[in-house]
Amino acid sequence: MPVELKIPQSGESITEVQIGEWRKSAGDYVEMDEVLVEIETDKASMELPAPVSGTLTKILKGNGAEAAVGDVIALIEEGKAPAGKTAKKTATSAAAESAKKEAAPAAKPAAAAKTQSKQQTDAKVMPSAQRILSQAGIEATTVEGTGPGGRITKDDAQQAAAEPAAAPAEAPAPAAVAPKPLAPPTAVSSPGREEEVVPMTPMRKVIARNLVNAQQTAALLTTFNEVDMTTVMALRARWKDAFLEKTGVKLGFMSFFVKAAVEALKDCPGVNSRIEGTHIIYRKYFDVGIAVGGGRGLVVPILRNAENLNFADIEKKIGDFAKRAQANKIDLSELQGGTFTISNGGIYGSMLSTPIVNPPQSGILGLHAIQQRAVVMDGEIVARPMMYVALTYDHRIVDGREAVTFLKRIKDVIENPERIFLEI
């Protein structure tokens, strides 16, 4: 009996995934624990290994297909490696066959479509989408599905639930005909004006949804300050070689800002809190998220209990996060939670920006490029390496005074880094 390869539970909030790249094709022999396919969740990518050794007999969901937790995506016939070569069927052809099977119901006569059973209709609704529709009292037949084969995805259900309900009709409305699934946009190209249409990844969908949600549900405001980096740069230049020799990792600026942020959060606890209903939850620990560019987008792995980490610990963890983010190897658990976030747009050359809070957090610190600017020191105009810093905060819980105090504390600690060691 074939062994089923199923989508595992990847987190409490994750119910759907997108099939990434199949590493093996139908007909290939695979060893136990050998990576078969990469799947993408709304937070990270992960690899699915073979549960047994045997022949991959069938791929049920090809590249780019959506699947729910628990779905069977492939079958493996357990056994030893065959002596001879086995005819192979590519994952692409398997995906094409799957697409044909999904598209087949659309070719049925109209009369057969009208008699389609409720079980068949429900099969086209993703589990997470069905829950949203049920809670909103919306019939699935009134929602247009944009997923493979016209499936109703979580995004489709959320969009339908967000639309204002239609006014009740005076007379019963005629039975609605199941809407046709929306076709993906078509690229119109001409010489020198080519276009390409690609589906959004689960991670990009969630990034888009969370950013819009943050701006719609929180009272976001950004305040700014500037920091003289002279002392920190001189300290780093003086001790970077000894630091590297002793710890095996380079001394960067981010560790200084993580330390400074922890000190500022201690002085301004509202920035480290969150709103839950009509209550405020103040966290007595400091889990600082560090935004890093990944292979498929920006991810924010967490430095747990940053208050207990020294400079070398911070630099090692950030370096490890950056390396694994590029290879899409960040573990899902490392992206969950966080009480505060630091985003460094300066590495891309950003001079000034207004970062967006990562809900349910109440604040995010934006760092920017260091530039030589003319400043007045002791009555004289001098050139100094300056950095603009920005704090975006949720004004529902953080007052302007607290936000300004937070950035002032960041400035004081960075311009006088000895305060980190003296804890003053």
In the chain, count H helices and then E strands.
Answer: 11, 18
CA distances from 252 to 205, 319, 383 (A): 32, 10, 22
Contact between residue 67 and residue 5 where contact means Cβ atoms under 8 Å apart: no
- The number of C-alpha atoms within 13 Å of 118 and in the hemisphere containing its C-beta is 1
399 catalytically annotated: yes
Residue among 55, 56, 60, 49 at smallest CA distance from 81: 55
Separation between Cα atoms, residue 131 and residue 344, nearest integer Å: 38
Q: Cα Rg for the chain, rounded, in angstroms?
A: 27
Place of tokens 């490029």: 369
Separation between Cα atoms, residue 226 and residue 373, nearest integer Å: 11
- The number of C-alpha atoms within 13 Å of 86 and in the hemisphere containing its C-beta is 17
Separation between Cα atoms, residue 172 and residue 27, nearest integer Å: 55
395 catalytically annotated: yes
DSSP string, 258-289: HHHHHHHHHH-GGGGEEEETTEEEE-SS--EE
Contact between residue 227 and residue 410 where contact means Cβ atoms under 8 Å apart: yes
Alpha helices, H only, 124-188: 127-136, 154-162
Which one of 228, 313, 395, 412 is the catalytic residue? 395
Separation between Cα atoms, residue 363 and residue 220, nearest integer Å: 9
212 sits in which H/E element: helix 202-217
19 sits in which H/E element: strand 16-22
45-49/29-30 β-pairing: unpaired
3-class DSSP assignment, residue 379? coil
Q: Which residue numbers are catalytic?
A: 395, 399
